[in-house]
Amino acid sequence: MSVEAVLWDMDGTLLDSEKLWDVPLYEFAEKMGGTLSLETRQAMVGSNVPTTMALLFAEVGLTPTEEETADGAAWIMRRTEEVFRAGLPWRPGAREALRAVRETGVPMALVTSTERALTEVALDTIGRDLFDVTVCGDEVEGRNKPLPDPYLKAATLLGVDAAACVAVEDSPTGVRSAVAAGCTVLVVPCDVPVPPGERRVFRDSLVGVDLAVLGALRA
């Protein structure tokens, strides 16, 4: 079965950036007078801004106003941009896998929970030319991963059926989103384990991944 498009997650999949997100998240918790636990941090992996902020404030025992939540999110975004601009590390094999698939001419999309402003910073490292479309966390009307909307939007923008696409993901949240959209998913876990399930094929890294590897997932 052919692959009509490849849909790539960003944080933890292409870039080893979840560890960079640690910096502002732990700093913010300390700024609020608390400490971010490993369990709560792992629950944030692959999630969206509203979920992350709710988890952060709950962790430090505060009930924020809407203004405080917005101010906190803005602080985290500013600090994360500083960290991103200092350098973004690739996940093993990711750069080569992107280029290998791109050279075949198969359409590609970047589908990330990260907001547009930070994604644009990351694209300075990844390369905008690799993607036909990009869908960011603030562009799905509050229906971010684990809901299927980001992947469905990417497929629609590419003019393909999501069920004929392969998504590449690292987190439980992202995998749930892609599966719900109907995609076959190549799962390369990064910081948290991903449970087995339908239309999920696991791999230790993206080393050696090309269109033939991805196409075999749908055979």
Could you count the other beta carbons within 10 Å of the beta carbon of residue 155?
A: 28
Distance (Å, whole) CA 82 – CA 142: 25
CA pseudo-torsion sign 12, 75, 119, 124: negative
Residue 214: Cβ-neighbour burial (10 angstroms; 0-12, 13-18, 19+) = buried
Q: Which residue has the tokens 């629950």?
A: 43
Distance (Å, whole) CA 37 – CA 46: 17
108-111 vs 133-135, strand pairing mode: parallel
Sequence-ordered list of residues with C-beta below 8 angstroms from that of 139, at least 6 positions apart, any chain: 116, 153
174: left (phi over 0), alpha (psi -120 to 50) or beta: alpha
Q: Active-site residue 191, yes or no? A: no
Question: Catalytic one among 9, 16, 149, 170?
Answer: 9
For the record, the structure tokens of 172 come out as 């439980």
Sequence-ordered list of residues with C-beta below 8 angstroms from that of 204, at least 6 positions apart, any chain: 188
Which residues are known catalytic residues?
9
